Amino acid sequence: NAGVTQTPKFRILKIGQSMTLQCTQDMNHNYMYWYRQDPGMGLKLIYYSVGAGITDKGEVPNGYNVSRSTTEDFPLRLELAAPSQTSVYFCASSYGGENEQYFGPGTRLTVT
Partner 1 sequence: GENVEQHPSTLSVQEGDSAVIKCTYSDSASNYFPWYKQELGKRPQLIIDIRSNVGEKKDQRIAVTLNKTAKHFSLHITETQPEDSAVYFCAASSNDYKLSFGAGTTVTVRA
Residues forming the site for partner 1 (CB under 8 A): 31, 33, 40-45, 48, 50, 58-59, 90, 96-98, 100-101, 103-106
**Could you tell me the smallest distance in angstroms from the CB atom of residue 41 to partner 1?**
6
Q: Virtual CA dihedral for 90, 63, 81, 79, nearest 10 degrees?
A: 100
Q: Which of 107, 90, 105, 108 is nearest to 5 (CA)?
A: 105
Helix (H) or strand (E) run with residue 80 in it: none
Distance between CA atoms of 44 and 34, rounded to whole angstroms? 8
Taking the least distance from each CB to partner 1, the nearer of 85 and 101 is 101
**Could you tell me the smallest distance in angstroms from the CB atom of residue 111 to partner 1?**
20
**Could you tell me the smallest distance in angstroms from the CB atom of residue 48 to partner 1?**
6
Distance between CA atoms of 88 and 81, rounded to whole angstroms? 14
Distance between CA atoms of 35 and 45, rounded to whole angstroms? 4
Taking the least distance from each CB to partner 1, the nearer of 37 and 65 is 37
Taking the least distance from each CB to partner 1, the nearer of 81 and 101 is 101
Taking the least distance from each CB to partner 1, the nearer of 104 and 111 is 104
